[in-house]
Amino acid sequence: MLFPIKHATWQQLRVLARAKGKPVLGRDIRIVPTRFTKSGEFLDELIEAGLIERAEGKPIAGNEPEQFRVRYTLTEKGRHAAEYGEYERVRQPQQTAG
């Protein structure tokens, strides 16, 4: 099933798409510094969704969270999402209490 992505996520994926396969630092993917992007967990969510992956290599030195010191690249699914604003995902029905 195709799922649309948020505009902010689309912008983050476009940063990687413009890099044309070169790994990009996590801090460069954080376009707008908001509470949501402060800890770098948004990058973990993109990895879990299969849109990006960590590139080879060690994190660079610094005081920032590790997610900002690591380099990332797009997956095929992420490349499609960056181009069309949607990606294929298995629908998981929510369980209801009762």
CA 58 to chain centre: 18
Determine, yes or no, domain membership for 97.
no
Query: Could you give the CA distance from residue 57 to residue 78 in angstroms, rounded to a whole number?
Result: 21
Q: Is residue 24 part of a domain?
A: yes
At residue 98, the pLDDT reads 61
Distance CA 79, CA 66 (A): 24
Distance CA 2, CA 31 (A): 25
Is the residue at 27 inside a domain? Answer: yes
Total domains, the chain: 1
Residue 94, domain member (yes or no): no
pLDDT given for residue 32 in this prediction: 87
Whole-number pLDDT of residue 96:
77
* Residue 1 pLDDT: 84
- Whichever domain contains 19, its CATH number is 1.10.10.10
pTM, rounded to two decimals: 0.85
Give tens-digit pLDDT for 1-20.
Answer: 888 999 999 999 999 999 99
Q: Is residue 71 part of a domain?
A: yes
Closest CA to 48 of 97, 19, 9: 9
* Tens of pLDDT, residues 56-98: 888 999 899 999 999 999 999 999 999 999 998 877 777 777 6
Whether 67 maps to a domain, the answer reads: yes
